[in-house]
Chains A and B, each alone.
Chain A
Amino acid sequence: MRCLELLFSFFQIGLFSIGGGYAAMPLIQDQVVDRHAWLTMTQFADIISIAEMTPGPIAVNSATFVGIQVAGFPGALAATAGCILPSCLIVTTLAFLYYRFRGLSLIQGILAALRPAVVAMIASAGLSLILLAFYGQRELPENPADLRLISVFIFCIGFLVLRKWKVNPLWVMAGAGVMGILLYSIF
Chain B
Amino acid sequence: MENRRMKYKKLFLSTFTLSACTFGGGFVIIPLMRRKFVEELHWIEDEEMLDLTAIAQSSPGAIAVNASILVGYHVAGIPGALISILGTVLPPLGIISVISLFYTAFRDAVLVNRMMTGMLAGVAAVICDVVCRLGGEIFRQKRVLPILILILSFLAVRVFGVNIVIVILLCGVVGALDTLLANRKNRGSDQNALS
Interface residues of A, Cβ cutoff 8 Å to B: 14-22, 24, 46, 49-61, 64-65, 68-69, 73, 76-77, 80, 83-84, 86-88, 90-92, 94-96, 98-99, 102, 105-106, 108-127, 129-130, 132-134, 148, 150-152, 154-159, 162-163, 168-170, 172-181, 183-185
Among residues of A, the one whose C-beta sits closest to the C-beta of B31 is A169
Among residues of A, the one whose C-beta sits closest to the C-beta of B54 is A114
Docked pose: A77 CA to B78 CA in angstroms: 21
Q: Taking the nearest CB of chain A, how far is it from the CB of B92, in angstroms?
A: 3
Residues in B whose Cβ lies below 8 Å from that of A156: 125
Among residues of B, the one whose C-beta sits closest to the C-beta of A92 is B81
Residues in A whose Cβ lies below 8 Å from that of B92: 54-57, 60-61, 64
Contact B85 A88 (CB under 8 A): yes
Whether a CB of chain A sits under 8 angstroms from the CB of B43 is: no
Docked pose: A181 CA to B135 CA in angstroms: 33
Residues in B whose Cβ lies below 8 Å from that of A15: 60-61
Contact A87 B30 (CB under 8 A): no
Among residues of B, the one whose C-beta sits closest to the C-beta of A60 is B92
Chain B interface residue count, Cβ-Cβ cutoff 8 angstroms: 103
Instruction: Indicate which residue in A49, A76, A124, A180 contacts B118 across the interface (CB closer than 8 Å).
Output: A180
Inter-chain contact count A-B, CB under 8 Å?
Answer: 363
Docked pose: A180 CA to B180 CA in angstroms: 52
Q: Taking the nearest CB of chain B, how far is it from the CB of A25, in angstroms?
A: 10
Contact A177 B122 (CB under 8 A): yes
Known: A18-B60, A106-B180, A124-B154. A117 touches B26 (CB 8 A): no
Docked pose: A116 CA to B146 CA in angstroms: 6
Docked pose: A80 CA to B19 CA in angstroms: 15
Residues in A whose Cβ lies below 8 Å from that of B41: none
Interface residues of B, Cβ cutoff 8 Å to A: 17, 19-28, 30-32, 35, 47, 50-66, 69-70, 73-74, 78, 81, 85, 88-89, 91-93, 95-97, 99-100, 103-104, 106-107, 111-112, 114-132, 134-135, 138, 145-147, 149-151, 153-154, 157-158, 163-165, 167-168, 171-172, 174-176, 178-180, 182-183
Q: Taking the nearest CB of chain B, how far is it from the CB of A94, in angstroms?
A: 5
Contact B154 A120 (CB under 8 A): yes
Residues in B whose Cβ lies below 8 Å from that of A151: 117-118, 120-121
Query: Interface residues of B: mostly helix, strand, loop or mixed?
Result: helix
Among residues of B, the one whose C-beta sits closest to the C-beta of A97 is B55
Contact A57 B21 (CB under 8 A): no
Residues in A whose Cβ lies below 8 Å from that of B54: 111, 114-115, 117-118
Contact A159 B129 (CB under 8 A): yes
Contact A173 B122 (CB under 8 A): yes
